[in-house]
Amino acid sequence: MAGEEEGSLAVGLVESISKGESTKTGYVQIVEIKDVPGKGKHFVTISDSIHSIKCVLGSTKGNLVTEKQIIEGSVLELLNYAPFVFMGKQTAVLNHFTIAQQECVKIGDPTEIVVPAQETPSTAPNFGQPSKAPSFGGNMQSKPMTNSNIYPISSLTPYFSTNWKIKARVLDKSDVREWNNAKGTGKLFSFSLQDESGQIRVTCFNEDVDKWFNTIVENSVYILSKGRIKQDRYKGRVNNDYAMTVSRDTQIEMVQEDDNFAQRKFNFVKITDLENCAEKQSVDVIAVVKTLGELEEFQSRAGKDLKKKTLVVFDDSGVEVECTLWNRTAEKYGPENMAPGTVVVLPGCSVSYFNNRSLSANSVLLNETRIPEYQTMLTWSQSGQTIETKTISKRTYQAAEALTWEEAELQRKGWNPETKPDYKGCFFSIKGTVNHIPHDMERPPWYRSCPLSANRLTKVEESNGRWACTRTGEVFDEYLCRYVLRFELSDGTDTKIVNAFNDVAQELLGGQTAQSVEEIQQTGDEDRFSKCFTEHTFQTYEFIIRAKKDTYNDVETVKYACIRLNKLDYQKEAADLLTKLG
């Protein structure tokens, strides 16, 4: 570039910055770099060959200076920057650029552009530089929460005065979490903010949790001031070296803003590429729902009450993965708003190596029609083509003992020989064939349940044309159907009646939901109704069985339930037979 003519830089770009505009992009040259020793901030003067202006490197770009990747003379292709007024002068934070040429002779003879004077705070901190160098923060007078003197997030550092304001959109919000350690007990929640320059994680503790938790709403825009900026020790979903803690002086006010302001920017990763991601890496995924499991409530080892659901999703790479939804998110979504075939955006998922690869998500976005990738995935999923997928979430179970029915009876499986009070049953596997699935139009193998995720196992009763939850009394216009299926399972040594509940029953019946079979039942077409069951008989699987003693009318017996079924690997079965024969 040294031999090129003046004008190869983006003439007019500096003038655009001086006017507070951010639409023009192009090539600029660094003519001066100044840093604040020990402060982690770098100031650069950039030129478009005619004019120059002093700017600030974004907080994630400082390593380019310390590692000498950019030096005085380097030419950058400036792609994104955030203009703001500092001490009465227009400047900008340089957030996104590429290094077009590391070393280059000075291009042109630029002069510092004259920026019209603006209202400025009366005092500002001094970092010890010559007076002409820009500095951040200042003892600004407290002002009403307005759009004036808004700072970009990427300009915030621990060395700011607290008298700044940012305007940003809430990307996500955590649940309230309690902590207990040697220093005492307390509670906290956090949320992520984004403006046009970057993101930052904000945390509230104790009384500030009560003050702000209900105020913060995902996807709303706020003006926030007087938070404490500190080094972020918990790298995760937010790409920023710094985080913010809310203090008693912090002010947060919701404001109306254009829908296009500071919308989340995604960097989608295909599911097939998750195997190349680091553990705990934060990724954005857009995919199609295959299944959504039941709400599970349990206690962690630390004694915390937790809730989760397992979501299985796939995309056009032909690969599926398990994703765990937690707490409020798990309660929020069910078949009524996340049915199979729904396109979902899972922002900021954490990659786990559990079960080979899986995801953990604290938020879900639906109907994101403004995102081009969403429209593409929706069109693909609705194309009508048969979609075969393979999974990268390989569950590892303790191997169940392989038995025949005859062996299970001889070993008295399920009889609780040690008379344990909390006996959960005995587990084993059987390779067998479904001989018969009883079904009756008058007594169908399902029940009507509450549509709310938290009460999905609870029956509903009809009440004046509506449906009342027998647990809470809440009344709904609709209900869910859940299978309680029985089938005959034979293995060559015996035949037993086995129970299968909703998810397993649905898999056994080829994916048909109880709701869809009820719709057929209500037409009165007995042949179609019967076919829903008969066409899935004489199928052979490996069945994982739970056997458990039960008492009915003072008669003790063992009941069998299928908790999982696996398709047979006939190649492996043949190899096993050859080994036994040889």
Q: What is the pLDDT of residues 46-98, one digit of tens each?
A: 999 999 999 888 777 878 888 889 999 999 999 878 787 776 678 888 878 88
Better-predicted residue by pLDDT, 452 or 278: 278
Predicted confidence band of residue 129 (pLDDT cuts 50, 70, 90): very low
Does residue 134 have a pLDDT over 80? no
Whether 356 and 378 share a structural domain:
yes
Does residue 458 have a pLDDT over 70? yes
Q: What is the pTM of this model?
A: 0.51
Give the best-scoring range by mean pLDDT among 222-236, 324-338, 378-392. 324-338
Identify which of 180, 178, 175, 152 has the alpha carbon closest to the alpha carbon of residue 165. 152
Average confidence (pLDDT) over 119-144: 37
- What pLDDT is recorded for position 397? 52
- What pLDDT is recorded for position 271? 95
b/e string for 492-508 if b means 16 or more Cβ within 10 A?
eeeebebbbbbbbbbbb
Q: How far is CA 51 from the centre of its chain?
A: 44
The token pair at 388 is 């075969």
**Residue 326, in any domain of the structure:** yes
The token pair at 305 is 């009450």
Does residue 123 have a pLDDT over 50? no
Whether 290 and 333 share a structural domain:
yes
Whether 422 and 285 share a structural domain:
no
**Residue 262, in any domain of the structure:** no
**Residue 138, in any domain of the structure:** no
Give the best-scoring range by mean pLDDT among 82-91, 449-458, 505-514. 505-514
Answer left, alpha or beta for residue 10, where phi above 0 means left and psi between -120 and 50 means alpha.
beta
**Residue 323, in any domain of the structure:** yes
Whether 405 and 386 share a structural domain:
no
- What pLDDT is recorded for position 509? 94
- The pair phi, psi for residue 327, each rounded to 5°, is 50, -115
Average confidence (pLDDT) over 342-355: 89
Identify which of 171, 168, 169, 198 has the alpha carbon closest to the alpha carbon of residue 362. 171
- What pLDDT is recorded for position 131? 35
- What pLDDT is recorded for position 13? 92
DSSP SS3 for 337: coil
**Residue 504, in any domain of the structure:** yes
444: burial class by Cβ within 10 Å (0-12, 13-18, 19+)?
Answer: middle
- The pair phi, psi for residue 554, each rounded to 5°, is 65, 15
Better-predicted residue by pLDDT, 10 or 23: 10
399-443: pLDDT as tens digits:
678 899 999 999 999 998 877 776 778 899 999 999 999 999 999
Spatial contact of 524 and 404, defined as CB atoms under 8 Å apart: no
The amino acid occupying position 338 is: M
HSE on the CB side for 276, CA within 13 Å? 5
**Residue 482, in any domain of the structure:** yes
Domain range for residue 69?
A: 13-112
**Strand-pair category, 460-463 with 466-469:** antiparallel
What is the overall mean pLDDT for the chain? 84
Better-predicted residue by pLDDT, 504 or 84: 504
User: Which of 112, 144, 178 is the last residue in one of the domains?
Assistant: 112
The token pair at 431 is 């390779």
Domain count for the chain? 4
198-215: pLDDT as tens digits:
889 999 999 999 999 999
CATH of the domain at 105: 2.40.50.140
The amino acid occupying position 263 is: Q
Helices (H), 295-359: 327-332
Using CA of residue 314, residue 315, residue 321, residue 322, what is the dihedral sign?
A: negative
Whether 319 and 279 share a structural domain:
yes
Predicted confidence band of residue 355 (pLDDT cuts 50, 70, 90): confident
- What pLDDT is recorded for position 124? 37
CA distance 103 to 106: 10
**Residue 140, in any domain of the structure:** no
The token pair at 542 is 């490996």
- The pair phi, psi for residue 507, each rounded to 5°, is -65, -40
Give the best-scoring range by mean pLDDT among 366-375, 378-387, 483-492. 483-492
- What pLDDT is recorded for position 436? 96
Whether 243 and 276 share a structural domain:
no
CA distance 520 to 507: 18
Does residue 4 have a pLDDT over 50? no
